[in-house]
Amino acid sequence: SMLTGLMYHRPEDPLAFLESCLQKTRDLGGPECVAWDTFITPDRKPLPPITPAQGKKAPCKL
């Protein structure tokens, strides 16, 4: 869960991020209370949707 959050957020200070994750784990009651997505927060801007024209592949040329 911590590594998932680390890869998702890519913080400038990864050690501080991991320390805050450890503290949150303690606050939640221990590792058994942590889900895989506990440290992912939806504060990042989502990618725009793919339009049907963008989603189509170009024909292969053999």
The half-sphere exposure of 24 on its side-chain side, counting CA atoms within 13 A, is 15
Would you state the pLDDT for residue 17? 95
Please state, in angstroms and rounded to a whole number, the distance separating the CA atoms of residues 62 and 60.
6
Would you state the pLDDT for residue 59? 62
Would you state the pLDDT for residue 62? 59
For 2-57, write each residue's pLDDT tens digit.
999 999 999 999 999 999 999 999 999 999 999 999 999 877 666 677 777 766 66
- Residue spans per domain, the chain: 2-43
Would you state the pLDDT for residue 43? 74
Three-state SS string over 1-51 comes to: CHHHHHHHHCCCCHHHHHHHHHHHHHHHCCHHHCCCCCCCCCCCCCCCCCC
